[in-house]
Amino acid sequence: MLPFNDARLARPSGTPVRYQVTAGVAAVRETPAPDGRLGTQALHGEGVDVFHEEGEFGLCQLVRDRYTGWVNMDALSAPALPQTHKISALRTYCFSQPDIKSAPRFMLCLGARVAATGRTDGVWTECARAGWVHRHHLAPLDVFESDPVSVAERYLETPYLWGGRESLGLDCSGLVQQAFEACGVRLPRDSDMQAAWAGAPVENWQAPGALKRGDLVFWEGHVGLMTSPDTLLHANAWHVAVEREPLAEAIARLRNVAGDVTGVRRVSLAATGAPDWLIAG
Same domain for 112 and 43? no
pLDDT score of 104? 98
Contact between residue 219 and residue 261 where contact means Cβ atoms under 8 Å apart? yes
How many domains in the chain? 3
CB 24 within 8 A of CB 106: yes
Residue 102: domain span: 85-140
pTM of the model: 0.96
Asked if 156 and 248 sit in the same domain, the reply is yes
Sheet of strand 231-236, all strands in order from the earlier edge strand to the far edge? 200-201, 263-266, 216-219, 222-228, 231-236, 241-246
Judge contact between 1 and 276, C-beta under 8 A. Answer: no
According to the model, what pLDDT value does residue 281 have? Answer: 66
Cα Rg of the chain (Å, integer): 19
Report phi then psi at 63, rounded to 5: -70, -35
- Are 200 and 108 within one domain? no
State which of 58, 77, 96 marks the end of a domain: 77
Q: What is the dihedral of CA 131, 74, 47, 29, to 10 degrees?
A: 130
CATH number at residue 27: 2.30.30.40
Same domain, yes or no: 226 and 272: yes
- Residue 202 sits in a domain of what CATH number? 3.90.1720.10
The answer to whether 267 touches 275, Cβ cutoff 8 Å, is no
Residue 112 and residue 70 share a domain: no
* Domain presence at residue 249: yes
Residue 131's DSSP bridge partners are 127
Are 96 and 132 members of one domain?
A: yes
Looking at the structure, tell me whether residues 273 and 167 fall in a common domain: yes
Distance linking the first and last C-alpha atoms of the chain: 17
Look at residue 259 in the predicted model and tell me its pLDDT.
97
In a domain, 185, yes or no: yes
Residue spans of the chain under pLDDT 50 = none
Q: β-pairing, 138-140 with 200-201?
A: unpaired
pLDDT of residue 247: 98
Examine the domain organization and report whether 204 and 253 are in the same domain: yes
